[in-house]
Amino acid sequence: MNFDREFFNLGYLDRLSYKDTIIHNIDARVKVIGAIAYIIAVLSFPKYAVIPLIPFFSFQIFSIIIGEIPISFIIKRIFVVSPFILFIAIFNPFFDRNTAFYLFNIPISYGILSFFSILIKFVLTVSIIIILISTTSFSGLCYAMRCFKVPEIFVNQLLFMYRYIFVLAEEAMRMVRAKELRSFNKKGLELKFYVKLAGNLLIRSLNRAERIYYAMLSRGYNGNMPYNKRKKLGFPDLLFILIILIMIYFFRFLEPVNSMGRFILRLIR
Amino acid sequence: MHMADALISPAVGVGFWALSLGGIAYSAKKLKDNIEEKMIPIMGILGAFVFAAQMINFTIPATGSSGHLGGGMLLSIILGPYAGFVVMASILTVQALFFADGGLLALGCNIWNLGFYTSFIAYPLIYKPLIKHNKFVFLATLISAVIGLQLGAFSVVLQTYFSGISELPFKTFLLLMQPIHLLIGIVEGVVTYGIVKYVTMSKPEILEHSLGNYSGKVDGTFIKKIVIGFLILTIITGGILSWFASSNPDGLEWSIEKVYGKPELPEKEHTLTNILKSVQEKISIFPDYTFKKDESKDAEAGEEKYPNIDLGTTLSGVFGAFIVLSLTFLTGFILKTIKKKRPS
Amino acid sequence: MSHHIVKFENVTFIYPDGTSALKGISFTINHGESVGVVGANGSGKTTLLMHLNGYLLPTSGTIKIGDLILNKKTRIEIRKKVGVVFQNPDDQLFMPTVYEDVAFGPINMGLDEHSVDFKVRNALEIVGCYDLKNKPPHHLSGGQKRAVAIASVISMDPDILAMDEPSSNLDPKSRRALINLLKSFKHTKIIASHDLDMILDVCERCIVIKDGVVVADGPSNIILSDQKLLEENNLELPLILQRR
């Protein structure tokens, strides 16, 4: 069932993010900036760019090896979210049929090029997010947001939400299981049962919010959420972001790949 | 439907990031001025609730397909528009990060599409006036859920179109998206109404406690300044665009010409690229790799001219990419072995 | 040592929906005492605990904690004196990491960074969970969650510890560890529970409530061996006293 899979994923990613590797120990702020710069660089390529995108996979390869992230997990995740993008991208070859070049006498259209360009951009951006989240704890990310001046209320309730997703998802799972046990072979949840189930869960959640508020009050809550002091960026963090930004710049604007390939080809000849 | 990173241009992504962050900042300010301290845990828990409820699929009667809750309308009804918008934004953030649903750059678009219209248009302009005398509650929920999602879907089409990545014609895409979201909106409205009714029937005091008491009213000036302005702009331009798209195949180009004064869409990312490029040219340490070949590639920005693709370059590109990737592999493994050997 | 006294005088409480949960409860708890509050489901135990730090205020009657009479103004002060540990640790551990959670109270009390750190460390070491300080709560086992929940309260240095069902959902080993931990505390303790064996082990005094009134109050070993009294209140003899 869909539910179990999503729930499992959430817990799995969460656990990955608490590993102890070089990448995990880099400051969250630095990783967030790196990821955003990476995504913008990838998406700023012209719509027919395919080959110049490929070097960008090096970030993934590097983090997967160093950050100890199972590659199968990333691939599965990409497949799960791919339908929408495929649905949109598949139209490009049909609407854009001008021939770009001939590959062994087979005409390759611009639509096909842009189709592959979208797919590669998709894989690159999705996987970099998975890598970011599986090497950075959620509270680390929220800490980074706070440093980037994201409004306090947003960050605070984001932390609350993340904390209780696990609790409520488990509660929901128990309710779904109990329902499934009693509904025998019927597939899926009927709308009216769903409404009751969700309504029940909502009541329980609001009751829980009440109890949490009570717990907060009894520990002196006065409307402000305390949070950690700001840490200074260390040398490894600065080195990391410097390398990342230089690499992104290099791959985006200098296309070193072409010249390197030309050089090797010349050597071979 | 979540917008994906790969379908938007950086300009569209950054623009909607700015809009959404502005919305969050404004809501946060409003909340800070008005709410009780209790609101923060309630918002957090309700976010977690919607998240959990979204994970459960249900079968849609008479269609055989399955759907899930969106939750935007539900959150606005329970928490009021400001808190509802902030919570919806945080749900989308967690989805973008953990389920790779959407993307980081597209997150701004998604918050706007799925949060803004429901919280700041459908809820205050349709739901609130309709339920004034506690009549038409079902109708109010249904219509506002449908309108919220229709606007969201329309917004997805606009963002895709203006990004220029997908070749899908505007009209086709519109005809694909709006009807699907009509169905999704109806289901969303029915489910939202059902849940709210169930809760008010079995535990009326619970909702009374949180229902709009903290932040129920949308500030009139906010609507006037931002919402209505944006709404009118979207509906007029959108309406004209789609009307011409349907009545006259060339109408779309015509109206874009009217709006922008030239036949092509403005491509902001290219100006950004150009600036970066000129900076790059000045500081470049590899004068050999000037942008001559790149420029020819970029000159295609207009619709007519396509880039010339030279097979030789492509071949060397493939080669180079292979080398770069192998180098990364090597560095990665070396670093890893060093780390393993180091006693820790 | 009058400031550690808990005194209930004819306390009644009626919920907004009209349910009358406490119907005139009176008792006095002295400094250093540990008292078990037992009773069937719905007898008013939890409502009673919610009065201890002023989350609920009595409809009539007075509650005195130390020198302070509980009312809207004093309850902030009283919350520093009475630490409440809730039945479900998930409701109590709401911060992203164990450390931040235990630090929540001390920071709200306005302590400086250094003393906060000291208090957190101290509290976590007492419950044996200092190693867990950087973990998020959802990675902890049931027993660990309970221990951290207790630490999050004792980091505020309360004079009085009040607990609602502290041993529920614990495996036997964690339960034993908890009992030993509770015994080691010198605080005044008020424990509401169905776990009569634990009450017998930890508390020298026991109060039985039924339908919002006190029906018995005395030494635990006498009350908890009174089979007739216990059965009238939907309870049964502690296992350790049951002869087979």
CB contact under 8 A, C96 and A217: no
Strands B58-59 and B66-67, how do they pair?
Answer: antiparallel
A16 Cβ contact partners less than 8 Å away, ≥ 6 residues apart: A69, A134, A135
Q: How many CB atoms lie within 10 A of CB A110?
A: 23
Angle at CA B119, nearest 5°, toward B116 and B125? 110
C22 to chain A, closest Cα gap in Å:
19
Residue of B nearest to C16 (CA): B205
Residue B264 confidence (pLDDT): 42
Q: Of C21, C53, C36, nearest to C165 (Cα)?
A: C36
CB-based contact B71:B50 (threshold 8 Å): yes
Superfamily for the C2-236 domain: P-loop containing nucleotide triphosphate hydrolases (3.40.50.300)
Q: Which of B194, B277, B307 sits opposite A48 (nearest CB)?
A: B307
CB contact under 8 A, B205 and C16: yes
* pLDDT tens digits, one per residue of C196-240: 889 988 999 999 998 888 988 989 888 888 888 888 888 888 887
Is any Cβ of chain B less than 8 angstroms from the Cβ of A142?
A: no
Residues A201 and A69 in one domain: no
Is any Cβ of chain B less than 8 angstroms from the Cβ of C17?
A: yes
Phi, psi dihedrals of residue B299, rounded to the nearest 5°? -65, -10
* pLDDT tens digits, one per residue of B246-262: 443 333 333 334 444 44
Q: To the nearest whole percent, how much of chain B has pLDDT over 70?
A: 61
- Per-residue pLDDT at B143 exceeds 50: yes
Q: Which of A159, A164, A219 sits opposite C104 (nearest CB)?
A: A219
Residue with tokens 């205020």: C57
- Name subunits touching C (3+ CB pairs < 8 A): A, B
Q: From CA A110, how far away is CA B273, in angstroms rounded?
A: 22
C214 to chain A, closest Cα gap in Å:
25
* pLDDT tens digits, one per residue of B116-137: 999 988 888 888 888 877 778 8
Residues A224 and A198 in one domain: yes
- Pseudo-torsion of CA B236, B240, B241, B242, nearest 10°? 100
Q: What is the DSSP string of B185-252?
A: HHHHHHHHHHHHHHHHHH-HHHHHHHTTTTT-SPPHHHIIIIIIHHHHHHHHHHHHHHHHHHH-TTHH
Residue of C nearest to B40 (CA): C94
- Per-residue pLDDT at A135 exceeds 50: yes
Residues A15 and A137 in one domain: yes
- A171: helix, coil or strand? helix
Residue A35 confidence (pLDDT): 92
User: Distances from the Cα of C47 to the Cαs of A167, B38, C14, in angstroms?
Assistant: 24, 20, 10
Asked whether this complex has an ipTM greater than 0.90, the answer is: no
Q: What single DSSP character describes residue C70?
A: P
Tell me the chain B residues in contact with residue C18 when contact means C-beta distances shorter than 8 Å: none
Is any Cβ of chain B less than 8 angstroms from the Cβ of A253?
A: yes
CB-based contact A82:A92 (threshold 8 Å): no
Question: Which two three-digit tokens encode residue C35?
Answer: 């008292």
Q: From CA B53, how far away is CA C112, in angstroms rounded?
A: 41
Residues A58 and A96 in one domain: yes
Residues A223 and A104 in one domain: no
Residue of C nearest to B44 (CA): C94
Q: Of C38, C79, C30, nearest to C224 (Cα)?
A: C38
CB contact under 8 A, A153 and B306: no
Question: Which two three-digit tokens encode residue A16?
Answer: 């990955």
Question: Which two three-digit tokens encode residue B54?
Answer: 């979204």
CB contact under 8 A, B323 and A130: no
Residue B275 confidence (pLDDT): 53
Is any Cβ of chain B less than 8 angstroms from the Cβ of A122?
A: yes
Intra-chain end-to-end CA distance of chain B, in Å: 47
Residues A145 and A155 in one domain: no
B79 to chain A, closest Cα gap in Å:
12
Q: Write down the domain spans for chain C.
A: 2-236
Q: How many CB pairs under 8 A join A and B?
A: 375
Q: Write down the domain spans for chain B.
A: 5-218, 283-341
Residue B219 burial by CB count (10 A; 0-12/13-18/19+): exposed, middle or buried?
middle
Q: From CA A51, how far away is CA A16, in angstroms rounded?
A: 32
- Taking each helix axis as running N to C, give the angle between helix B137-163 and helix B10-34, from 0 to 180 degrees, rounded to the nearest 10: 140
**Mean pLDDT estimate for chain C:** 87
Residues A198 and A184 in one domain: yes
**Structural domain containing residue A175:** 151-228
Residues A107 and A145 in one domain: yes
B190 to chain A, closest Cα gap in Å:
9
* pLDDT tens digits, one per residue of C140-167: 888 899 999 999 998 988 889 999 988 8
User: Distances from the Cα of A169 to the Cαs of A4, A13, A160, A176, A201, in angstroms?
Assistant: 10, 15, 14, 10, 10
Residues A119 and A163 in one domain: no
B340 to chain C, closest Cα gap in Å:
24
Q: Which of B56, B310, B315 sits opposite A194 (nearest CB)?
A: B56
CB-based contact B241:B170 (threshold 8 Å): yes
Q: From CA B120, how far away is CA B115, in angstroms rounded?
A: 8
Residue of A nearest to B55 (CA): A3
Single-letter amino acid, residue C111: L
- Per-residue pLDDT at B340 exceeds 90: no
Q: To the nearest whole percent, how much of chain A has pLDDT over 90?
A: 8
Average pLDDT, integer, range C167-184: 86
CB contact under 8 A, B44 and A158: yes
Residues A126 and A222 in one domain: no
Residues A157 and A217 in one domain: yes
Helix (H) / strand (E) element for C190: namely strand C188-192
Helix (H) / strand (E) element for A107: namely strand A106-109
Give which of B2, B29, B49, B214 to mutate to test A binding, by max A Cβ within 10 Å.
Answer: B49
Q: Which of B37, B313, B335 sits opposite A66 (nearest CB)?
A: B335
- Name subunits touching B (3+ CB pairs < 8 A): A, C
* pLDDT tens digits, one per residue of C71-125: 888 888 888 888 899 888 888 898 888 998 999 989 888 888 889 999 999 999 8
Intra-chain end-to-end CA distance of chain C, in Å: 45
Residue B88 confidence (pLDDT): 93
Q: Which of C88, C90, C108 sits opposite A219 (nearest CB)?
A: C108
Residues A176 and A114 in one domain: no
CB contact under 8 A, B41 and C94: yes
CB contact under 8 A, A228 and C100: yes
- Name subunits touching A (3+ CB pairs < 8 A): B, C
Residue B306 confidence (pLDDT): 62
CATH number, domain B5-218: 1.10.1760.20
Least confident of A128-132, A173-177, B269-273, C115-119: B269-273
* pLDDT tens digits, one per residue of B52-90: 888 887 877 766 677 788 888 999 988 888 889 999 999
Distance of CA B180 to the CA centre of its chain: 17
- Per-residue pLDDT at C35 exceeds 90: yes
